Chain A
Amino acid sequence: MGAGHAHRLYVPGASPVHRLAPQCKLVALLAFVTAVVATPRERMWAFAAYAVLLAAVAAVARIGPGLIARRALIELPFVTFALLLPFVAHGERVSVLGVAVSQDGLWGAWNILAKGTLGVVGSILLAATTEPRALLLGAERLRVPAQLVQIAAFMLRYLDVVAGELARMRVALAARGFEARDVRATRVLARSLGALFLRTYERGERVHLAMLARGYDGRMPATGAVAATPGQWGTAAVLPAAAALVAAAAWMGG
């Protein structure tokens, strides 16, 4: 039962970004994304500036570009949707490489790609420098309702259990020559999910009883100091403040 102590997404480290209090990082990321989304899509230089800001954070946190690129692959389905836009949208046509595409659609695609990618990279940096457990403590400090934090805590705790069971089932299915080819495969997948739910629940119930036996009363005991100093808030504010400046500049002029 080595799971739960560290997470696959977390990259251990001791950089200033890692040491920052989780609640500061959460607020900083939200503010940064707000600034990015509020930027008019025609100001391409502003998005370049945001990318440079994120690259600086990644450099300070010692998170390599390869890791970020690999994790950013999750964005691919949205990218395909964005790439389709120039072809299906109406409006004025422009010629790109000899193909007439909608100008409006082109801007729409750029809008989704640029803002989406910046948000995704921001989240990747947060997840790589913050343990999920610390993130929950941070959310608690930010007065996120206790019920939500509790659901999220149980969820993260059992995610590895569910993933482990699911992986074993997938191996078992593959070993029996199963391959999800079309809609008919849904029947098999549905059965597996039913079994998965029951297995996970009964395992979770045992864990819950064990937790109760050890004095669990609805919240995890905090082991380290979680209060953030004004200095930490100041450090965390550098990224959103710079982003806000860029956004303001983008709104003012060209």
Chain B
Amino acid sequence: MYIDIITKILLEVKYRYNNDKNEEKLTMNKVFPIFICCGIAYSFFNGTSAQVFAGIVGSCEQTAMLCIRYGAIWSFWLGMMKIAEKTGLIEKFARLLSPVIRFLFPRTTSKASEYILLNVTANMIGIGNAATPFGLAAMKEMACGPVASDDMIMFVVLNTTSLQLIPLGVISLRAAFGSAEPSVVLLPILLATAITTAVGIISVKMIQKREAVKCRK
């Protein structure tokens, strides 16, 4: 069931997914020259040109090391995720979540809530790359006109707050840079991300009570 859905959605959103990269590039097209040019200009004024020049070489070495170490650690977790997926554990977890989804999105169709469920599950277990195609498919199911409905806003806010059970990305990065206890941040992150998510959900629910925009499809 999973592989079927995933391939279908991947094909469907391929075009849009390529577009999304452009959003990030648009911002970076402005940020990149500002950092480089202002930095170089300031280094002349500050007398730090030698450090800046040496720093460029250092940054390249740093990137190479990051890719090798982080890539290997990250690959290990991807392997574990694949095992969990093949044994059906991820699907079981998704089923546990479905009552929560029904509470948060009372007005969505069953097809939309299935995509929402897959998206939220992928976000929670920390495979963000897999979450995006499901998220875009859910948005498409919920879409109606140029104005965002309450359920859509709840969904987007939920995605921006990242309720992650195990922050494998941060833990892998810590390990890659030689931390003696990379996973010590697990509980603090869980707490912080729970606060972010709670603030998001409560604010949306409170505003919804005042001014509700329902989707009439």
- A and B found bound together: no
Which positions in B face A, CB cutoff 8 Å?
none
